[in-house]
Structure 1
Amino acid sequence: MHTLPIGKYAAYLRKSRVDLEAEARGEEDTYKRHKRILQELAKRYGITLDKIYREKPATSGERISERPEMICLLEDVENEQWTGILVVEVERLARGDTMDQGIVANAFKYSNTLIVTPMRVYDPQNPDDEEYFEFGLFMSRREFKTITRRLQSGRVDGVRDGRYVGNTPPYGYQRVKLPGKGWTLEPHPEQAPIVQLIFSLYTDPNPERRMGTARLARKLNAMGVPTARKSRWTVATINGLLRNPVYIGRVRWGARPQVKRRDGKSRPRKPRDQWVEAKGMHTPLIDEDTFALAQTIMEENRHTPLPKGKISNPLAGLIRCDMCGGPMVLRPYGEKNPAAMICPAQDCVNVSSYFHVVEDRLLRSLQEWLKSYKAQWKEKQPKPNRNDQMKWKAHEEMLKSLRKKLTALEAQKNEVHNLLELKVYSIDIYKERSQSLAKQINDTRQAISQTEQEMELEQKRIAARTETIPQVEHVLEAYHKTDDPAKKNALLKSVVEQATYRKEKGGRWNPEAVNQFTLVLYPKLPKRRDRPSHR
């Protein structure tokens, strides 16, 4: 039998999909069995397990990035913390792609860490063991792909047979195990009536009484009805529910497949043209006519999305809701009514206003601020000094001289202490000299502070005169000369940090209420620099 060197050893446990299926059939818990095997293996080699890395049962084994315990293990291995790692089979370490397998292999190789299994001890420095280990990982990956294809094929067959193959039931249903193989759905006693209520309110025969998705979300939240995840209803949640054909007795698979990106994480892809859909075994909650009407209403109210990255709102990213802090967005109403600036948050009661009214208020506010800003700096400096650079240089020299004087005074203060300890100064002389130096130090520090304030004020005045004021004047002049929303947005963002909007009372048809909102403007002010720039 192979003799293991003296050192520190750990074990790694991970359940595979096959293990989970076996446990579902009533077999022994995999972790309990594997832990017993590895403890017996450690006893046979005469070693002690100092730590056991145990993945959560639901953790996927395909990617290292999805296994927290494996990440910790690899970090410890790379730090040469372990002499060897015990595992029931090398396949438990990596079943991912070639990149992940290479990460695992190199971590053990460069740290000279052994891999101990009941069948074999792998020494990464031994070429034969290294080749055998890499071959084992390759075969593991091949087996994993075979199992995945088999499972996907089984799901497709299940959908065609009318079974529900998802792990989480849709809102309004609960999963029920079929007598033979697979699962189906049955109406949830509390959620099913909510689904029917949503469809009935959305497709009311009287178009005037129909509720849109935003109103439905607010109504359900006000009623205290939780979603399937015990969260609040949103427009996206309502839209997904209204589009789901499961409520008319259909089942499908592959409409939004999970796709792995370069970072290794899975994300849903956009709905694809082809997927598997069939009549399900479960009872429908909605009749097909109502479902078809819901799809028609959604299509009629659908807004065609703009191309990615294109700006259609000149105020995009500038106006924020003063009540909830979220961004205000542009809501077009076609040719019926002017576009409006609204807060899209479900529970926010901030009343919307016409876009052109908010835009006009923002520009007038910016113009009024510019007038006040000009007056502010004109009052501080009636006539701009043409020798700004010379004045700045004089301030710098004065500040340099004051700091040098402060350093000398503090040195003298230390020297006074030394002379007192050497008994050169009497206590009376020491007190007199100390008080005199303390006053000089305090006066010098005040002079430094005053000079710095004057320099900062001079810097702001120069920046206002040479940068801020001309820039704002340019924005106000150029804004109305272009029809491109993106250019308008860029102009405003060059001089405006943000603005907050607040309107507590509605009354779109009341001329007096149209302008009754508060808009607080936050212009961009010049940032402090080491020295001013001149034009």
Structure 2
Amino acid sequence: MNLLELKSRIKHVAIYLRKSRNKEGEETEETLAKHRERLIEIVNKNNWSYEIFQEVESSMDENRPQYQRLKSKLSEGFFDGVLSVNLARVTRDDAETPRFMNLLRQEDILFITDSERIYDLEVQEDWQALKFTGFVNNWEYENIKAQLRKGKKDSAKMGRWSNGVPNYGLSYNRLDKTLEIDEEKAEAVRMAFEMVINNIGVDNIAIALNKLGYKTNRNCYFSGHAIYRIIRSEIYKGWIVSNRLKGRNLYDGKLRPKEQWIIRKNAAPQIVDEKTWLMANEALDRRKLLSPRGKQQKHALSNLIKCGLCGRTHTVSRKRDRNDALAVQACRKKDPLGNKCNNSGIKYDIMMEIIVEHIQEKRKEILVQLQQVNEEEQTDNLKSLKIKKLREQIKKNKKAQEILQLQLEEELISFKEFKDRRNQRIFELDDLEKELAQLSDTTKEDEIKSKKSFLDKLDNFLENWYLIEGADLNQELMSFLNKIIWVAPRNSKEPPKLVFDWRE
């Protein structure tokens, strides 16, 4: 098929853009704007309608919401072609490249580059040509990553900063390639070290700094975890530690053996001296060893009761002034400025009575469901109705994401609002699609087996709960319960409420 025939097949295209490193030294935003202008020029010249998918933040292949949205719409047959600068701008991951190419071939979608080269992946020559391009892109990408890793190691050995954004209280001088102290923020760091040495907990230190008006590098309130990381970081005593992680960060990386770390002492300006750093870290270690009495003993409701106002776990402890009677304590969580949560507690015995009653009701509900499952026609209708409703919800969610994108492009909402609302929609969509997949794959026999197994757990608990206690009873409850949400604001006219999250 010649070029004119291929172009005649195209009516609606997806334009995909994303940030990438720039060899010529241009700003990424400027390069992205040029690419966008060039691709829109191509579609206008050919009278194609189009939709733009642009990653607003640079990211790894597995974490690109616009790319995921593009693939979803490709699968639904929205487009005749995908237009991008080249295949590397869409994906250059070894595993993802063939998956993306297979998707194009399966849906009979053309791939178009900024040189107006059109690949028809049904044609073997085009498939091999694009596959070879993908191989070259992957090789180049891995080569660049290897050079960057080597450069970071060399910089670390020379005592230069190569760990990205500097820690709180420090700034990077690009001309001298050195770290400098930000005195205003460094004062907060020194205060944190001093308070830890004075045996003040990290949560209370965070509250103290927040009340004084200090904010993190991301302009957020401090948390106890942020203070903990500050105290543990060697950078504040002048050490630069590199090659500690294999991966991008603590969440998706892996800690290397200590002998592989690159440590340079006296490579950064000291915010605290080494003696202060050691004293603060020893104080943290001591606090870690001192475990409250309530945490040493596991009760039936340990880690099960969650605050419905702030999400924190309610502790279970004994009231010394009430003959050591057990109680679910009022929520003690404080917000970043030290204001306490308003959720009240409840007597342990009363809470257990309510829980047992709910479990008995749940047992009755499961028995009714089992009876319905055995009535095949009714079950199939119910399942079909659930699938239909889930599909409608998925469709609405995707439509809402499209509207959000349009609102952003028309500047009707800020980028922060867009990002927060889009992330919420993405999480909701993921849950809906998982539920749909599970429901679609579940046979009648699977459903009966699952419900009988769940019923056995409830029966076992109801028959034996008063005979066992402590950790054993907690284990029994957690075999069929994820959590119990407790909502009982002080001075509220509404009655307390319990919401059960079952492990069905």
Scaled by the length of structure 1, the TM-score of the pair is 0.58
Which 5+ residue runs of structure 1 have no aligned equivalent?
205-209, 333-337, 371-467, 505-519, 525-535
The 3-state SS of whatever aligns with 1:191 is helix
Instruction: Deviation per CA, 1:156-199: give whole Å up to 9, x if none.
Output: 112222222233221111222134xxx43212232110001111
Instruction: Deviation per CA, 1:133-155: give whole Å up to 9, x if none.
Output: 11111221121111111111111
Question: Structure 1 pair 365/202, CA: closer, same or farther in 2 (3 Å)?
Answer: closer
Which residue of 2 is the match for residue 29 of structure 1?
A: 30
Question: Structure 1 pair 312/50, CA: closer, same or farther in 2 (3 Å)?
Answer: same
Question: Structure 1 pair 21/14, CA: closer, same or farther in 2 (3 Å)?
Answer: farther
Question: Structure 1 pair 137/266, CA: closer, same or farther in 2 (3 Å)?
Answer: farther
Which residue of 1 is the match for residue 218 of structure 2?
A: 229
Partners of 1:320 and 1:328 within 8 A in 2: yes
Alignment length (residue pairs): 377
Q: How does 1:495-506 map to 2 (within 5 A)?
A: none
Residue 499 of structure 1: how far off its partner (Å): 6.7
Question: Structure 1 pair 362/497, CA: closer, same or farther in 2 (3 Å)?
Answer: same
Which residue of 1 is the match for residue 272 of structure 2?
A: 286
2 CA distance for matches of 1:348 and 1:493? 35
Matched, 1:203 2:197: yes
The one-letter code matched in structure 1 to 2:31 is T
Instruction: Deviation per CA, 1:352-372: give whole Å up to 9, x if none.
Output: x9xxxx99x5238868999xx
The 3-state SS of whatever aligns with 2:252 is strand
The 3-state SS of whatever aligns with 1:136 is helix
- The structure that has the greater radius of gyration is 1
2 CA distance for matches of 1:123 and 1:491? 57
Which residue of 2 is the match for residue 252 of structure 1?
A: 241
Task: Tell which deviates more after alignment, 183-192 or 135-144.
Answer: 183-192
The 3-state SS of whatever aligns with 2:82 is strand
Q: 2:158 aligns with which of 135, 138, 161?
A: 161
Q: How does 1:430-441 map to 2 (within 5 A)?
A: none
Residue 251 of structure 1: how far off its partner (Å): 1.6
Which residue of 2 is the match for residue 56 of structure 1?
A: 55
Question: Structure 1 pair 325/40, CA: closer, same or farther in 2 (3 Å)?
Answer: closer
The one-letter code matched in structure 2 to 1:198 is A
Matched, 1:77 2:71: no
Partners of 1:258 and 1:268 within 8 A in 2: yes
Which residue of 1 is the match for residue 147 of structure 2?
A: 150
The 3-state SS of whatever aligns with 2:183 is coil
Question: Structure 1 pair 219/101, CA: closer, same or farther in 2 (3 Å)?
Answer: same
Residue 288 of structure 1: how far off its partner (Å): 0.5
The one-letter code matched in structure 2 to 1:186 is E
The 3-state SS of whatever aligns with 1:302 is helix
Matched, 1:67 2:72: no
Q: 2:284 aligns with which of 298, 301, 304?
A: 298
1 CA distance for matches of 2:224 and 2:89? 43
Q: 2:129 aligns with which of 123, 129, 132?
A: 132
The 3-state SS of whatever aligns with 1:22 is coil
Partners of 1:109 and 1:125 within 8 A in 2: yes
The 3-state SS of whatever aligns with 1:168 is coil
Residue 271 of structure 1: how far off its partner (Å): 7.0
Partners of 1:319 and 1:500 within 8 A in 2: no
Task: Tell which deviates more after alignment, 149-158 or 492-501.
Answer: 492-501
2 CA distance for matches of 1:162 and 1:31? 34
Q: Cα RMSD between the aligned structures? A: 4.7
The 3-state SS of whatever aligns with 1:301 is helix
Q: How does 1:305-454 map to 2 (within 5 A)?
A: 312-319=298-305, 326-329=312-315, 343=331, 345-346=333-334, 347=338, 349=340, 362-363=348-349
Which residue of 2 is the match for residue 275 of structure 1?
A: 261
Residue 15 of structure 1: how far off its partner (Å): 4.7
The 3-state SS of whatever aligns with 1:29 is helix
Question: Structure 1 pair 369/101, CA: closer, same or farther in 2 (3 Å)?
Answer: closer
Identical aligned pairs, as a percentage?
20
Partners of 2:197 and 2:279 within 8 A in 1: yes
The 3-state SS of whatever aligns with 2:21 is helix
Task: Tell which deviates more after alignment, 28-37 or 290-299.
Answer: 28-37
Which residue of 2 is the match for residue 189 of structure 1?
A: 183
Residue 13 of structure 1: how far off its partner (Å): 4.7
2 CA distance for matches of 1:72 and 1:471? 45
2 CA distance for matches of 1:304 and 1:259? 33
Task: Tell which deviates more after alignment, 118-127 or 15-24.
Answer: 15-24
Residue 316 of structure 1: how far off its partner (Å): 0.9
Question: Structure 1 pair 170/369, CA: closer, same or farther in 2 (3 Å)?
Answer: closer
Partners of 1:8 and 1:50 within 8 A in 2: yes
Partners of 1:319 and 1:328 within 8 A in 2: yes
1 CA distance for matches of 2:204 and 2:211? 10
Which residue of 2 is the match for residue 220 of structure 1?
A: 209
2 CA distance for matches of 1:97 and 1:154? 23
Partners of 2:12 and 2:49 within 8 A in 1: yes
Question: Structure 1 pair 348/256, CA: closer, same or farther in 2 (3 Å)?
Answer: farther
The 3-state SS of whatever aligns with 2:49 is strand
Q: How does 1:466-481 map to 2 (within 5 A)?
A: 475-476=465-466, 478-479=467-468
Matched, 1:106 2:111: no
Which 5+ residue runs of structure 2 have no aligned equivalent?
319-323, 357-457
Question: Structure 1 pair 142/189, CA: closer, same or farther in 2 (3 Å)?
Answer: same
Partners of 2:186 and 2:271 within 8 A in 1: yes
The one-letter code matched in structure 2 to 1:192 is A
Residue 287 of structure 1: how far off its partner (Å): 0.2
2 CA distance for matches of 1:523 and 1:74? 37
1 CA distance for matches of 2:140 and 2:240? 29
